[in-house]
Homo-oligomer: A and B are copies of this chain.
Amino acid sequence: MPTIREVAARAGVSPATVSRVMKGEVPVNAETRARVEAAISALGYAPNAFARSLASNRLGGVGLVISHLAGPFMGRVMMTLEATLRQANVSLLVASGGGEAEREQEAVDFLINRRCDGLIVHADALADETLSALAATTPLVVFNRRVAEIEAHCIYLDNECGGYLATRHLLEQGHRHIACLTGPLKQQDAAGRLAGYHRALGEWGIEADTRMIIEGDFVEGSGERGMTTLLARGLPVTAVVAGNDDMALGAMTLLRARGIAVPQTLSLVGYDNEACSRHVVPSLSTIHAPLEEMAQDAAERLLMLVAGDALPPAMSFTPTLIERETVAPPKV
């Protein structure tokens, strides 16, 4: 593995000049540059990443903190992040936190200790203040979450809009008794979706019935349990908005077991447009998020921050409704 000094010796220049040629920003005499470049390719020189990092105090890589690596859409997000970052010759370090605040903080510390140039954080459990404090010390982008004080650092979906779209779709089909199986309401995404549900009902002049709103945890089982609770209450529900596709799937499992026909007796809308939702029978109507665009924006914003550039204004991403087979007009 040749060093910069060997290259310099071969080209008959000093290491400093080789360094200047490598980064290409400072002007170097054309003929000197050619000699150096020849030496570089002759020796197959590649700069030592450690030495470079030590001297410049930059890693050339960013960290990704993620709550649930095995979550339904992390693959799509990571794929785009990785591709965008690698194009900029920036590497991606991954640490996971499993949705517990303490372990997420550990993950952050782990990456900070590695001297990452910046951080992309996709964490449920960390507090808003922790994140905005972090943003003050490190280039930071927050994924799938909005923290007001650092809005331009946040890449998030307009969940209120998504909840609204789902509910409005059911209203337009004629439903008037619409229940809502939410995610954990201390999480912003779940709360936003519920707010959209309320707004849609409000626009139709319908007062929300709290007995029709059941909090779950975004996991399948809670969809099943929530639906059980809902049925037990004996309300005249004709449609359900689920917190996400997993919960919708859980609900569908229960409904099938109880012999309740979807969508004939009960309509259902999910959220997230997971791969699976297209395959279940009947296929699940749901809300789609432009994850790839969001991930690309996240990577680009982080690169700007790392470069010291100012961020463009904050922007939320808009979800869209995917109509499939779980929604039909209510029976009269």
A residues within 8 Å of B by Cβ? 46, 48-51, 53-54, 57, 59-61, 68-72, 74-76, 78-79, 82-83, 86, 91-96, 107, 110-111, 113-115, 249, 252-253, 256, 275-276, 279-281
Contacts and interface: CB of A to CB of B under 8 A. Distances in A.
Contact of A83 (B48, B57, B96): B96
7 contacts: A49-B114, A50-B50, A50-B54, A50-B57, A53-B54, A69-B75, A82-B96
Nearest to A280: B279
- The copy count of this chain in the complex is 2
A49 B94 contact: no
Contacts of A249: 279
A101 to B, nearest CB: 17
A94 B78 contact: yes
A110 B49 CA distance: 11
Contact of A110 (B54, B70, B91): B91
A44 to B, nearest CB: 11
Nearest to A73: B70
Most buried by B among A69, A95, A256: A69
B49 A115 contact: yes
A256 B281 contact: yes
A87 B49 CA distance: 24
Contact of A74 (B75, B111, B253): B75
Contacts of A94: 78, 82, 92-94
Given A50-B54, A115-B49, A110 B92 contact: no
Contacts of A46: 113
